[in-house]
């Protein structure tokens, strides 16, 4: 192993900020199987590079955590093998992780300085080892590169590199999983008699058959989740007793605790109202004008069909902070050029 090559590789990765990575992910999307196109983009929204860098460099992290109302587990170093368990490609994490480490430790330089090309090249090697189609591992390989950038090669190598979820979804083909996410519940022979009481299923963990609850047509996701009275607090301390599996404190888009990623059925959710669209940007979760984005506040999103979501392991309010930080950095750079 060459320490110098390690530092060169990490230095190369560190030249890429969130905007650069956004372009890389967009370049990779045509090469990612449909089952993981949305999931890969959601993962990158769950673990924004520029914000994580701010946390890593914070002189007083506890004070910053309080200021930004951070809750849960947000550092990738604490979840190297688990943060991506909702991707279909997670089933091939051992092969992907090994291929990324091998690439990072190579004594010779990469064939290309194009990060997206590097990711595709490593994905091809991992796919060959796993004996699967390359498009099933491109997304998880991009996740691996970003994880390495945030945690460093030493920590990345030190993780077990194992599949941590039961991963029931990998027992179906990728096409079957993608199709099942779009399929609505059967309402039975006399379903038409239910009218507005039509019920659908919200699945919040595809690797656990019990991780689902029913939602009535046009009902908000958190309202439906509150009918799930099982003990969720012991699994996630951010949850509130009798409020279901989705952390929620306000039900009015004021707290940001109920953000979720939508990996199936987002077209069956109501369009983002003005308040939700404004707040998800203020929280820092996503900056988009898409009326049906990948990230939603569950207290605002009404469902008109079956939906598959992912609950992130953390939440906070950092959008305004990051905007101010970027403005300050820009002003400092301008002043430095004078």
Domain 181-320 is in which class? alpha beta
pTM: 0.93
Average pLDDT of the chain is: 92
* Least reliable range by pLDDT among 51-55, 81-85, 188-192: 188-192
Six-digit token string for 308: 């598959």
Predicted local confidence at residue 2, as pLDDT: 40
pLDDT exceeds cutoff 90 at 274: yes
Neighbours of 164 (CB within 10 A): 17
The CA–CA distances, whole Å, from 153 to 97, 106, 114, 250 equal 11, 13, 20, 40
Alpha-carbon distance values, 25 to 3, 18, 222, 262 (Å): 28, 10, 30, 18
Q: What is the reported pLDDT for 185?
A: 85
The length of the chain in residues reads 338
In the prediction, which pLDDT does 3 show? 46
164 - beta bridge partners?
A: none
Residue ranges of domains in the chain? 3-164, 181-320
With beta carbons less than 8 A apart as the criterion, state whether 306 and 185 touch: yes
Integer Cα distance of 304 and 270 in angstroms: 8
Assess contact for 199 and 304: CB atoms under 8 A: no
**311-330 mean pLDDT:** 90
């Amino acid at each position: 192993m060459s320490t110098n090559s390690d530092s060169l590789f990490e230095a190369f990765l560190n030249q890429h900020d969130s905007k650069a990575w956004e372009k890389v992910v967009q370049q990779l999307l045509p090469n990612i199987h449909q089952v993981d196109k949305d999931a890969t983009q959601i993962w990158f929204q769950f673990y924004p590079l520029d914000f994580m860098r701010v946390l890593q460099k914070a002189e007083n992290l506890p004070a910053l955590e309080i200021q930004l109302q951070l809750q849960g587990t947000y550092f990738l170093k604490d979840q190297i093998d688990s943060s991506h368990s909702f991707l279909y490609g997670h089933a091939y994490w051992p092969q992907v992780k090994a291929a990324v480490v091998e690439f990072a430790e190579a004594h010779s330089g990469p064939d290309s300085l194009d990060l997206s090309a590097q990711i595709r090249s490593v994905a091809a090697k991992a796919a060959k080892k796993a004996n699967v189609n390359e498009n099933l591992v491109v997304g998880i390989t991009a996740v691996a590169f970003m994880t390495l950038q945030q945690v460093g090669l030493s920590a990345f190598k030190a993780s077990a590199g194992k599949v941590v979820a039961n991963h029931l979804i990998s027992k179906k083909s990728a096409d079957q999983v993608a199709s099942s996410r779009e399929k609505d519940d059967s309402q039975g022979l006399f379903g038409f008699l239910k009218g507005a009481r039509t019920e659908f299923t919200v699945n919040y963990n595809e690797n656990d058959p019990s991780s689902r609850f029913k939602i009535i047509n046009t009902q908000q996701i958190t309202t439906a989740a509150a009918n799930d009275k099982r003990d969720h607090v012991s699994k996630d301390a951010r949850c509130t007793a009798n409020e279901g599996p989705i952390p929620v404190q306000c039900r009015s888009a004021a707290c940001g605790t109920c953000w979720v990623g939508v990996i199936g059925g987002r077209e069956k959710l109501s369009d983002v109202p003005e308040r939700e669209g404004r707040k998800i940007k203020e929280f820092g979760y996503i900056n988009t004008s898409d009326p049906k984005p990948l990230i939603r506040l569950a207290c605002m999103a009404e469902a008109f069909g079956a939906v598959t979501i992912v609950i992130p392991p953390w939440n906070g309010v950092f959008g305004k902070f990051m905007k101010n930080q970027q403005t300050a950095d820009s002003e400092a750079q301008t002043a430095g050029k004078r």
